[in-house]
Amino acid sequence: MTHDALKNIKDLEHRISRVETITSHVFEDKSLALQAITHPSAVEGDSHLSYERLEFLGDSIVGFAVGLEGYRRFPDIDEGILTKMRIAVVNGNFLSESAVEKGLQDCVIFGTSELSAGSRGMHSALEDVFEAITAALFLDGGMAVATAWVLGCLGDCINPEIAADKSNPKSLLQEKVQADGGSVSYDIVSVQGPSHSPSFVAEVSVNEVVIAQGVGASKKAAEKAAAQAALDEVNRGA
């Protein structure tokens, strides 16, 4: 196993074993489990060794699993509520809280720079690790394995009541735009700062036109900030 920044093989094996226990899945490809729990600071930002690429894939898989479960579980609610419900469930707070409940904070491999920063960035890291582990499960075991993990962690949160959360600017923007038949999309346009404490910049587009930007310590936080900025812009023009 090539992982030059990490030398303690027994520690790595212990962490991988812990991930397997938490996810109830024995990885055929152990390197996927290792990559899913490796913070960029531990490998000098190399996205092929850290969880960054897996997190990208896992974000889509988590959203799909939650959306499909909502569609199946609540056949009588419309697509607007389904959309808001999915957005609310896959936000960073639920993902990081679930990661803590599962004990994933003890599995994450940080570099020296991040360790010296204490708890800073842990929330964002756990959000990313949750999504990265989801992707690793998908690649190693298939969609059924990944979906079982997601629903085992987030299934209890999937309900129409959560869609009524008026504190979520992404849900509010989606509702406002969809009422006029429009669409909303988000893009991460840049990442600033060191790998152990990044700052993400997100753009939000309505009907494929960029209308606002937001900055946050995680991708979802940046998207949330962008959505709030877009809402402010929309409300000023109302």
Token code pair at residue 90: 């896959």
Average pLDDT, the chain: 85
Q: Which domain holds residue 139?
A: 1-165
Residue 131 annotated among the catalytic residues of the structure? yes
Model confidence at 19: pLDDT above 90 = yes
Token code pair at residue 60: 């889509």
C-alpha to C-alpha distance for 215 and 8, rounded to whole angstroms: 36
Strands 184-192 and 209-216, by their bridges, are: unpaired
Of the candidates 59, 114, 128, 203, the residue annotated as catalytic is 59
Measured in whole angstroms, the distance separating CA 180 from the mean position of its chain's CA atoms is 29
CA distances (Å), 68 to each of 26, 61, 85, 162, in order?
A: 25, 10, 11, 16
Is the same domain home to 112 and 35? yes
C-alpha to C-alpha distance for 166 and 194, rounded to whole angstroms: 34
As for how many domains the chain has, the answer is 2
Is the same domain home to 121 and 233? no
Is the same domain home to 29 and 50? yes
Q: Assign 84 a pLDDT band (cuts: 50, 70, 90).
A: confident
Q: Flag the least confident range among 28-32, 114-118, 134-138.
A: 114-118
Torsion of CA 116, 54, 81, 187, to 10 degrees: 80
Among the three residues 135, 165, 195, which one is the final residue of a domain in this structure? 165
Q: Assign 165 a pLDDT band (cuts: 50, 70, 90).
A: low
Is the same domain home to 172 and 143? no
- Mapping DSSP to helix (H, G, I), strand (E, B) and coil, where does residue 88 land? helix
Residues 6+ apart with CB under 8 A from 4: 43
Token code pair at residue 167: 């504190």
Model confidence at 1: pLDDT above 60 = no
Token pair 């060794």 in the structure block, residue: 49
Residues 6+ apart with CB under 8 A from 196: 39, 40, 41, 110, 111, 113, 114, 117, 121
Q: Assign 160 a pLDDT band (cuts: 50, 70, 90).
A: confident
pLDDT value of position 4: 43
C-alpha to C-alpha distance for 67 and 85, rounded to whole angstroms: 8
Full DSSP string of 124-137 = HHHHHHHHHHHHHH
Measured in whole angstroms, the distance separating CA 104 from the mean position of its chain's CA atoms is 14
Among the three residues 117, 142, 165, which one is the final residue of a domain in this structure? 165
pLDDT value of position 5: 42
- Range with top average pLDDT, 54-58, 88-92, 125-129, 163-167: 54-58
Confirm if 94 and 128 have CB atoms less than 8 A apart.
no
Is the same domain home to 44 and 138? yes
CATH no. for residue 203? Answer: 3.30.160.20
Confirm if 170 and 178 have CB atoms less than 8 A apart.
no
Of the candidates 69, 131, 203, 223, the residue annotated as catalytic is 131
Q: Flag the least confident range among 26-30, 61-65, 110-114, 234-238.
A: 234-238
Confirm if 147 and 153 have CB atoms less than 8 A apart.
no
